[in-house]
């Protein structure tokens, strides 16, 4: 489960398109930000993705990727031109097939090969039609699905929905939220064989309007995922602001949709907290104010955004404690696991959340002030601020972890919730598989 949102420039306080995402994955699955440098590749070379090889292109662009440790691709990412993509699972009427490209692989490939949102989308479509999508997407157990992508740059935004090798794309000009529910009803662009395939399956008659989402979606499975409720929640929060800025977007990503966080947040909660075995949890969050190569980002680098500090960075200026070098994935994993101790301590009742959140609010206001003062400054000045904020964040988290060491346990929730988290705690950090 995930929540991805787009806000067009004319609805924002900054006059910039905004793309943001909560990535909901296995609670024990590390997810961290990596910088992948631009690279020239030999002729006829191939690249190994999570499950299969695909033909490599002569040059790949530089990318910053929010990457689940064991997967080659990523959940959220951006490239040197400010093209930014978030993907989500959707369930369709088509079989999920043999291992091929994961949606996360397609996301990375699109960023590495597309200078604009439209180019990235074309790359994803071509790869989808050539190689297909499929394979287990779960850190533990099994989960199979197809994908929807929200793709944006400083000029435009697109929703690209897929079902097997079929796809439909819609150019978007208003607030849009996607939460594991297909929503492209009137495509701007469409796979040339999608309509005929639907007719052959008996799903569609030529006399009716062609609604890609309604025809290809597995409605029963989708209804159980809470996606419609999450999408309505984030959209409601966004539309409550006359001019949408960072605070409104953070509020939407941190919303529990009326549920009690940690103990009763469920599939209808944008800020997702695991509450049973096999449940998902928000393991990483990112916000992008799209401005080409000078796009400004805010990211957590940890789970559960309701208690995670959002730190700023730029593509050319970021703290190495937040965005790691590609060959430093072991270090990145350890950093995510250390930050995850905040969430586990909170669940054990070892953190005074009222005091923690009050301090976090003050800290984030300082971050916004610090970042705004250098937004138009040199790379060196922006880098210095990112480094300073990373140190402040580490000091804040370390101080609360130190407090947790001496605070008596008072676990949240009932016995069943405690059993879930005892099981998760026993295996946290055990799977250190990394895909390079």
Backbone phi, then psi, for 431, in 5-degree steps? -90, 105
Residue 386 among the catalytic residues: no
Name the active-site residue from 2, 233, 306, 386: 2
Backbone phi, then psi, for 146, in 5-degree steps? -100, -175
Give dist(CA 266, CA 224) in Å, integer. 11
**Stretch (H or E) spanning 103:** helix 103-113
**DSSP of 307-340:** GS--EEEETTB--TTTEEEGGGHHHHHHHHHHHH
Q: Quick check: 250 and 260 in contact, CB under 8 A?
A: no
Q: Which two tokens stand for residue 91?
A: 């369930």
Q: Quick check: 76 and 85 in contact, CB under 8 A?
A: yes
Alpha helices in 348-378 (DSSP H): 353-374
Q: Which two tokens stand for residue 84?
A: 């930014």
Query: Residues near 223 by Cβ (< 8 Å), separated by ≥ 6?
Result: none
Give dist(CA 85, CA 65) in Å, integer. 10
Q: Quick check: 160 and 105 in contact, CB under 8 A?
A: no
Give dist(CA 286, CA 299) in Å, integer. 4
Q: Quick check: 403 and 349 in contact, CB under 8 A?
A: no
User: Could you give the residue numbers annotated as active site?
Assistant: 2
């Amino acid at each position: 489960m995930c929540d991805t949102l787009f806000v067009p420039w004319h609805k924002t306080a900054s006059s910039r398109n905004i793309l943001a995402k909560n990535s909901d994955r296995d609670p024990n699955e590390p997810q961290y930000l990596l910088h992948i440098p631009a690279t020239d590749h030999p002729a006829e070379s191939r690249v190994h993705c999570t499950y299969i090889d695909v033909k490599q292109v002569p040059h790949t662009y530089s990318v910053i990727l929010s990457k689940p440790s064991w997967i080659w691709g990523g959940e959220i990412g951006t490239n040197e031109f400010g093209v930014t993509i978030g993907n989500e699972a959707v369930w369709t009427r088509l079989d999920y097939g043999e291992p091929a490209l994961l949606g996360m692989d397609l996301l990375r490939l699109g960023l590495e090969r597309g200078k604009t949102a439209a180019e990235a989308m074309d790359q994803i479509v071509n790869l989808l039609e050539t190689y297909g999508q499929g394979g287990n997407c779960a850190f533990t157990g099994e989960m199979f699905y197809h994908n929807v992508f929200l793709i944006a740059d400083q000029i435009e935004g697109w929703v690209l929905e897929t079902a097997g090798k079929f796809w439909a794309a819609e150019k978007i000009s208003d607030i849009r939220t996607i939460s594991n529910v297909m929503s492209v009803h009137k495509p701007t662009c469409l796979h040339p064989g999608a309509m005929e395939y639907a007719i052959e399956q008996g799903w569609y008659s030529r006399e009716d309007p062609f609604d890609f989402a309604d025809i290809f979606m597995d409605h029963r499975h989708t209804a159980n995922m809470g996606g419609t409720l999450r999408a309505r929640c984030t959209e409601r929060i966004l539309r409550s602001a006359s001019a949408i800025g960072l605070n409104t977007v953070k509020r939407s990503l941190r919303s529990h949709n009326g549920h009690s966080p940690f103990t009763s947040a469920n599939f209808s909660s944008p800020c997702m907290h695991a509450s049973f075995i096999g449940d998902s949890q928000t393991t990483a969050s990112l916000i992008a104010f799209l401005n080409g190569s000078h796009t400004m980002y805010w990211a957590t680098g940890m789970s559960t955004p309701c208690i995670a500090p959002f730190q700023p960075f730029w593509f050319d200026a970021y703290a190495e404690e937040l965005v790691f070098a590609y060959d430093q994935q072991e270090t990145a994993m350890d950093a995510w696991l250390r930050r995850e101790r905040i969430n586990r301590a909170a669940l054990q009742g070892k953190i005074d959340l009222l005091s923690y959140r009050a301090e976090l609010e003050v800290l984030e206001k300082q971050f916004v002030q610090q970042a705004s003062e250098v937004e138009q400054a040199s790379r060196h000045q922006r880098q210095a601020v990112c480094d300073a904020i990373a140190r402040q964040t580490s000091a804040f988290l370390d101080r609360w972890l130190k407090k947790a060491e001496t605070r008596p346990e008072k676990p949240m929730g009932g016995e069943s919730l405690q059993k879930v988290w005892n099981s998760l705690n026993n295996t946290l950090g055990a799977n250190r598989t990394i895909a390079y």
